[in-house]
Amino acid sequence: MRDGPVDSATTSTEVPGANARTMILGGNLSFATALRCKECGKLYPVQALHVCEFCFGPLEVDYDYEAIGASISRESIAKGPLSIWRYKDLLPVEGTSYVDLGAGYTPLVKAERLGKYLGLNDLWIKNDTLNPTGSFKDRVVSVALTKAKELGLSVAACASTGNLANSVAAHAVAAGMESYVFIPADLEVAKVITTTVYGGNVIAIDGNYDDVNRLCSEITSEEPNWAFANVNVRSYYSEGSKTLAFEVAEQLGWQIPDHVVVPIGSGSQLTKIHKGFSELRKVGLINDAKTVRISGAQPLGCSPVASAFVEGHDFVRPVKPSTIAKSLAIGNPADGVYALDVVRSTGGSIAAVSDEQILEAIRLLASTEGIFAETAGGVTLAVLMELVSAGKIDKDERTVVYITGNGLKTVEALAPTSKVSDTIPPSLDAFMEFLRKKRSNVLEGVK
């Protein structure tokens, strides 16, 4: 299907069914012009559609980049809110009634200590653990539900590996929408609690994420007024991840990095970070013509895209996940082939790491930079380390690692190996004895 001939009739710039509403609403401009099939190029109006009726390819938002270029500037962005909405012109929404808990504008940290440990001179961490519900999903959900409301959809829903559940439940409250969140029944306890607290419907499915996702696709046909963030409004939802590229460029003083390392679940985030960097060039916000190398990270227990990369395939063979990185446990990734294309075309790599490496990387990040990542962050950092050992990252490359979720949600992964230094009675003598032992151990080189 992917390599099939492109019918020129379907790539016309005329959008069937498009109307003035697509471009102008209540004085607010949207620069989104159409949805384009990623496979055959057929164009659709900016409506509640996500799949091509001709070839079943996914639809992606197209924009009038010339008009955006004429409207946007570094200065206009600087005057915007300290959230993803400062990049509104590059997002597919019309009005300014955002469903907004403050997603985005998270710190980009120069990782001096971690860089030194790894022998990298220009290493940066995009700390997306600091979003309102603790993951980058707040970016995509804020866009998805804002668009869902504009499209007249009334219920917020999703198929989730955990973080999306938190985010949809929270943003639905802000949107005044009822919510239905579907999760695999074996999710981390903290992710379940931090979702149910918002008071929506949380439905645990006795199956894995791929089963949950399939069920949600079926429900979409029954409930046309529901906005499943990552199913029927996926084309809009995924656009939110572009802000991960926009922010990094802005925070580097409108420079693009040489190399970024991104976790892969469905592969959506990785492809949209790539789209984000390309758009900055298209609208003239950056002039640097260099290509950002994009590398992907997967856990060994669910690494269908990494396997395809290593084996040189241009298809992704589904797997049955078994990993502590539950947020990345997607055995049949919807955007896997597109992630492969991006990584190959930019000169990046994809690697997979074991559960032990993931835990070690979580501890390393926490103890060098003071950032506590969830298991997906452990995957991304451990893959960075693999790429460094394999000579695939140069020590002087400006490298950004996307840390996309907060460690407080996956503490149970660390629990079996987490221990306090000592347990002592509440007396000064006992503490001085502890200190004496510790100091003599240090002198003797005992850990």
Alpha-carbon gap, residue 427 to 355, rounded angstroms: 40
Pairing of strands 178-184, 155-159: parallel
Check residue 13 and report its DSSP letter.
Answer: S
State the number of CA atoms in the 13 A half-sphere of 328 facing the CB. Answer: 36
Site for Zn ion in 187-216 (CB under 5 A): none
Residue from 179, 243, 266, 323 in contact with ligand PLP (CB under 6 A): 266
Q: Report the residue number, 94 or 210, with the smaller CB distance to ligand PLP.
A: 210
DSSP SS3 for 263? strand
Query: Which H, E and C letters describe 73-84, residue by residue?
Result: CHHHHHCCCCCH
Report whether 10 contacts 39 (CB < 8 A).
no
Greatest pairwise CA separation for the chain in angstroms: 85
**How many binding residues for ligand PLP (CB under 6 A)?**
18
Determine if 268 is a binding residue for ligand PLP (CB under 6 A). Answer: yes
Regarding 304 and contact with Zn ion (CB under 5 A), the answer is: no
Which listed option, ligand PLP, Zn ion, none, makes contact with residue 405 (CB within 5 to 8 Å by class)?
A: ligand PLP
Please identify which residue in 52, 168, 256, 262 interacts with Zn ion, judged by CB under 5 A.
52
Site string for ligand PLP, 140-159 (x = CB under 6 A): --------------------
User: Rounded to whole angstroms, how far apart are CA atoms 346 and 29?
Assistant: 33
Q: If binding is defined by CB under 6 A, does position 133 make contact with ligand PLP?
A: no
Residue 55 interacting partner from ligand PLP, Zn ion, none (CB closer than 5 to 8 Å by kind): Zn ion
Interacting positions 321-340 with ligand PLP (CB under 6 A): 327-328
Q: Residue 251 has which token pair?
A: 């925070």
Residue whose CB is less far from ligand PLP, 348 or 405:
405
Part of the chain binding Zn ion (CB under 5 A), chosen from 15-23, 33-41, 279-287, 294-302: 33-41
Coil, strand or helix: which one is 352? strand
37 binds, among ligand PLP, Zn ion, none (CB under 5 to 8 A by kind): Zn ion
Angstrom distance (rounded) from CA 156 to CA 16? 28
Nearer to ligand PLP, 164 or 286 (CB): 164
Q: Which residues, 6+ apart, have CB-to-CB distance to 385 below 8 Å?
A: 118, 357, 361
Give the whole-angstrom CA distance, residue 121 versus residue 124. Answer: 10
- Write the single-letter amino acid at 301: G
DSSP 3-state assignment of 407? helix
CB of 329 to ligand PLP, least distance (A): 9
> Integer distance in angstroms from the first to the last C-alpha of the chain?
57
The minimum distance between CB 374 and ligand PLP, in angstroms, equals: 6
> 40 is in the binding site of which of ligand PLP, Zn ion, none (Cβ under 5 to 8 A by kind)?
Zn ion
Tell me how far, at minimum, the Cβ of 373 lies from ligand PLP, in Å. 9
Position 407 contacts ligand PLP (CB under 6 A):
no
Binding site residues, ligand PLP, CB under 6 A: 135, 137, 161, 163-164, 263-269, 327-328, 374, 376, 404-405
